[in-house]
Every structure is written in structure tokens, then in C-alpha cells.
Amino acid sequence: MSSTNITKVTSHPSQNEQLIFERSQHGRVGYKLPALDVDETPLDELVPQELRRDDDLEGVPEVSEVDVVRHFTRISTWNYSIDLGLYPLGSCTMKYNSRLNEKVARIGGYANLHPLASEEDSQGALELIYELQENLSEITGLAGVSLQPAAGAHGEMTGVMLIRAFIDARDGEGASAKRRTMLIPDSAHGTNPASANLSGFTVRTIKSTAEGLTDLDHLRELCAAGDVAGLMLTNPNTLGLFEKNIEEICRIVHEAGGLVYMDGANMNALVGVARPGDMGVDVIHLNLHKTFSTPHGGGGPGCGPCCCSKELEPFLPTPRVVKDGESFKLDFNRPQSIGRVKAFHGNFGMMVRALAYIQTHGAEGLREATEAAVVNARYIAHGLKEDYDKPFDAPPMHEVVFTDKRQSRKGVHTLDIAKRLIDYGFHPMTIYFPLIVQGAMLIEPTESVGRQELDQFIAAMRAIAHEAVEDPDTVINAPHTTRIGRLDEAAAARKPVLRWKPKEAASAA
Ligand SMILES: Cc1ncc(COP(=O)(O)O)c(C=O)c1O
């Protein structure tokens, strides 16, 4: 929330808009304790002075239970969520998180198990982890799976570390030190170069063709340098297009001595239909919080499993959950492992939900979900083709990208269209990503929406396109129906006000 935002809200302190701090009344509490029926122990005996906090607690809200409940209930209604409607954020796969998965995750034996419980007492949980590993191995066509990484970017970093460890072991330290280039297409998600860089690689960018695919000639040219450790490729790529030359791409990289990393954030377009391992990919991460319907959870917890070929398996994080006869155990005896990347076993609750998703769908259901996700994106592509320009001709997979080229001639840009969508009751699509598309609008409906909602979304987008011609100011000044209008987004990002301070402290600062 920017300072502009806070000022606006606090300058109209009607009861509905009060911050919890403004609701505070001295002495108000949310509990009542019975009278003490034992001798009072002097505070000094209980908590020595040096262990007590000495900062000023002034400003901590003093509120009753009902104040707290009303405060949080009220602000929860200001959110837009996947449970309210279509959430078409491209690349994010905002699909419905089934209540059944939540129910399973709350089963006491899973939810209350301590991560330090013995193997003997954790057999059910270890079996669940093992089962999920096996399922993801089958889905990706890759033999080794680690569920430790806590997010997509974390899975990427783990995968790239595997590539590095594999090359070091294969080539020996001297030779492998010369192989430190990671190739990444210009359409890639920003986390790809960040992961490569963190793992000690120099990133070189591959151009995309006019068709929106990896430029094979440029790839060959870059591979000829002889220093390529690998390629990080998203498939379908971030333009929503299937890299139809994937087998050739893998061949070129392998012949140059490198490995192929696939960013699997877009697996919602492939699950049950095509397997990265069969295409020649060596390592991939999955986003359970996207494809396998676990909640995105405001920055965590997530789960970004790393899946790899048999050759890379010895380097996977330690420990691994393995089957030992009829029971399950943690295998720490992994001399070539890159080590641990997350405490304990990773975010276990996400694994429970993902396995519930996989098992309730079954192979047939997973394939149907994939097909529906692709058909839905194509339905939107078709429905908007008269009103918005699509930068590439190929039929999209699970998400479709448009450009604001046509609307920007009238001074209406992608940001304006996104803000106006809010007035029509929809969460905006992903905007200005991928970077190689002018004013990109990346729309991913997922399989969770039906035709009626798709039609409503298309109608809203078409209405905005007409407004952009006939009444551009309405779009440019949107949103009109929200509690606050446009924020100063640059100030919000550069000078975020993340902490409330009492008025005197704020004015003194
Ligand atoms: C293509 C792609 N790769 C990687 C990531 C990173 O995933 P996470 O946000 O879970 O770290 C994302 C996230 O949006 C993505 O869209």
C-alpha cells in the first residue's frame, strides 16, 4: 500500500475505513481472566529484567475480540480471490483450489505430525511423499524427483545446481570451469536468469523468431562457443506457444555438451498429454501451487519439485524418501548430492494437496483438465481476435498474449485496460510480461472456468476495446468503482509504506 493510499484511507476515518490502530481504545481487551488464586510471583523472579523488552509498546492496538473479527472480516471483503471469480493472471495458473484437497491436508495425522518425528512414526507421511514423487516422475517422464524446493524459482535454482554438479563430475573441475554459460530465451521469466546467475553461470540470451519460438540458428551459433552448460527453456513458452522444435533444440544442446532445463511453470498445458522427459529434457521444475492446484498463498508456502533424468538423480538434494521393502525411509547416503535446499522435507502440506489433486483426477481427469485449459485459452483468443492484436499467429496453448498496439494509438495502454477490467468485476490479466511483446496482456483462464464466465470476460474486454475508441478517458482514468483510484505505482514500489506508525512518530520521521 503506498503512502498515497494510506493517506486517502485515513483521511476519511468512517467506521468502515478505520485502520485497526484507529479503532484502538485505551484499556480495551479481547479476554477476561479469572482472579488469581495463587500467590503472585514477583515479575523479576519470573522474567529477569535483562530478558524483558524495553521498547515502547505504545501504538499496539487495544481492541476487543469483536473489533478484531470485524476488522479482518471487513478487509477480507476488499480482496479479489480465486473463490470470487475468474483470475486470468497469465503464467500464474490461478486455478480453483479444491476444498477436498484442503480437507485431506487437515487430517490430523498429516497436519499435526512433527517434522522431527521418527521414521517409524512418520510412515504415512513418508509414503505420501514417495507416492507423490512417483506420480510426478510418471507425469514428467523423468526418473528422479525432489520435493524439497519451496517455490518455482527455488526449484529452478535446485535444477541448475544439479546441472553444475553433473558437469563438474563429468568433466572434472578444470574443464567444467570453462563451461559456465547458461542460454536463456528473451521471452523467459525473470527468475530463470536469476537462478542461473545465483548458481554461478553467465547468462546469454537467445532471440525469439517472428513466430515467437526459439531461434534455432541463434541457438546453434551460441552453442558453437563450446562453453554452454545448459539451456533454460519454458515450454509452452511464456508467449503461450508450444516450442514445436523441442526435440531438435535438445539435440543441439546435447551435442554441444550441455543439458536442457525446462521451466515447468506452464505444465498445465501438458500434464497427461506430453512428457518433458520424452522430449529430451534433462531437468525440470514444477509449480505445485500452479499446475497441481495448491494455493499460491501470498508468497508461500509453495512447492516447486525438481525432476531429473537418471543421470542427474545422484545429485538431487539430500535426504531422499525411498522405499525399503514395505516401509519408507530417508536416504542420507548420497555422496554426490548438492545437499539440502530446504529444512526438513519441504512444505509438506502442499504435497498432501497436490497428491489429492492427482489422485482425485486420475490419468484421464488430468488429461481432461489440460485439454480444457487449452480450449479455454483458445476460446478467449478467438473471442477477442476482432478487437485486440495478437502478436503471433500460432494457436495458443493454455494462455494467450495480446498487445495494446491498436489501443495505444488512441492513448489507451495495457495498464488502463487492466484497471478498467476491475470495473467490470474481473481481476486483471498479467501485464507487460513477456517483455518482448509491446504492452503485453497475458491471459490464462485455466480449466476452472465455464463457457458462461469466459463469455462474460470476452464481453468485458470487447466493451473496453470499444470504449478505447469512443470514450478513451473512461479507460484511462479507470478504475471508477473501487475504494481508491489509481495509485502512484512507482512510489508504491520505491517508497513502500509497510508499517503503521502513530501520527506523532510518523510526522517526526
Ligand atoms: C514461467 C515461470 N517460471 C518461473 C516462475 C517462478 O515460480 P515461483 O513464483 O513459484 O517462484 C514463474 C512464476 O510466475 C513463471 O511464471
Query: If you take atom 5 of ligand 1, which residue's CA is the nearest one?
Result: 152
Helix, strand, or coil here: 252? helix
Residues in the chain: 509
Which residue, chain included where needed, has cell 536442457? Answer: 260
β-strand partners of 228: 181
Secondary-structure class of domain 101-360 per CATH: alpha beta
Distance CA 299, CA 283 (A): 24
- Helices then strands, counting H and E runs in the chain, come out as 19, 12
CB < 8 Å & 24+ apart, contacts of 298-302: 300/150, 300/151, 300/347, 301/150, 301/347, 301/349, 301/350, 302/150, 302/151, 302/152, 302/347, 302/350
Query: If you take atom 8 of ligand 1, which residue's CA is the nearest one?
Result: 152
Tell how far the Cα of 446 is from the centroid of ligand 1, in angstroms: 16
Q: What is the pLDDT at residue 332? A: 96
Q: What is the pLDDT at residue 19? A: 87
Q: Each residue's pLDDT tens digit in the chain (509 positions)? A: 333 344 344 444 566 778 898 889 988 998 888 998 888 888 888 888 888 887 766 778 899 999 999 999 998 888 888 889 999 999 999 999 999 999 999 999 999 999 999 999 999 999 999 999 999 999 999 999 999 999 999 999 999 999 999 999 999 988 889 999 999 999 999 999 999 999 999 999 999 999 999 999 999 999 999 999 999 999 999 999 999 999 999 999 999 999 999 999 999 999 999 999 999 999 999 999 999 999 886 555 899 999 999 999 999 999 999 999 999 999 999 999 999 999 998 999 999 999 999 999 999 999 999 999 999 999 999 999 999 999 999 999 999 999 999 999 999 999 999 999 999 999 999 999 999 999 999 999 999 999 999 999 999 999 999 999 999 999 999 999 998 899 888 998 999 988 877 776 666 66
- Going by C-alpha positions, the residue among 475, 99, 439, 95 that lies closest to residue 293 is 95
Q: What is the pLDDT at residue 38? A: 86
Secondary-structure class of domain 371-494 per CATH: alpha beta
Task: Assess contact for 333 and 319: CB atoms under 8 A.
Answer: no
Query: If you take atom 7 of ligand 1, which residue's CA is the nearest one?
Result: 152
Which residue, chain included where needed, has cell 553433473? Answer: 166
Q: What is the pLDDT at residue 4? A: 39
Tell how far the Cα of 367 is from the centroid of ligand 1, in angstroms: 22
Tell how far the Cα of 280 is from the centroid of ligand 1, in angstroms: 22
In eight-state DSSP terms, residue 64 is: -
Query: If you take atom 9 of ligand 1, which residue's CA is the nearest one?
Result: 152
Of ligand 1's atoms, which has the minimum distance to the CA of residue 266?
1
Q: Are strands 320-324 and 259-264 parallel, antiparallel or unpaired?
A: unpaired
- Domain coordinates in residue numbering, the chain: 3-76, 101-360, 371-494
Helix, strand, or coil here: 54? coil
Task: Assess contact for 340 and 355: CB atoms under 8 A.
Answer: no
Tell how far the Cα of 14 is from the centroid of ligand 1, in angstroms: 40
Of ligand 1's atoms, which has the minimum distance to the CA of residue 263?
3
Which residue, chain included where needed, has cell 532471440? Answer: 207
Tell how far the Cα of 259 is from the centroid of ligand 1, in angstroms: 20
Show the DSSP H helices in 290-445 as ranges: 348-383, 405-408, 414-423
* Residue in 89, 158, 287, 347 to alter for ligand 1 test, most ligand atoms within 8 A of Cβ: 287
Q: Ligand 1 — pocket residues by CB below 6 A? A: 91-92, 151-153, 189, 191, 234, 238, 263, 265, 287, 302, 304
For residue 198, give the amino acid letter: L
Tell how far the Cα of 399 is from the centroid of ligand 1, in angstroms: 14
β-strand partners of 214: 208
Tell how far the Cα of 396 is from the centroid of ligand 1, in angstroms: 19
Which residue, chain included where needed, has cell 494467450? Answer: 400
Q: What is the pLDDT at residue 6? A: 40
Task: Assess contact for 203 and 138: CB atoms under 8 A.
Answer: no
Which residue, chain included where needed, has cell 516401509? Answer: 327
Q: What is the pLDDT at residue 50? A: 87
Q: What is the pLDDT at residue 504? A: 66
* Residue in 189, 284, 444 to alter for ligand 1 test, most ligand atoms within 8 A of Cβ: 189
CA angle 346, 162, 229 (to 5 degrees): 145
Distance CA 79, CA 93 (A): 18
Q: What is the pLDDT at residue 507? A: 67
Tell how far the Cα of 100 is from the centroid of ligand 1, in angstroms: 25
Q: What is the pLDDT at residue 484? A: 86
Distance CA 497, CA 3 (A): 6
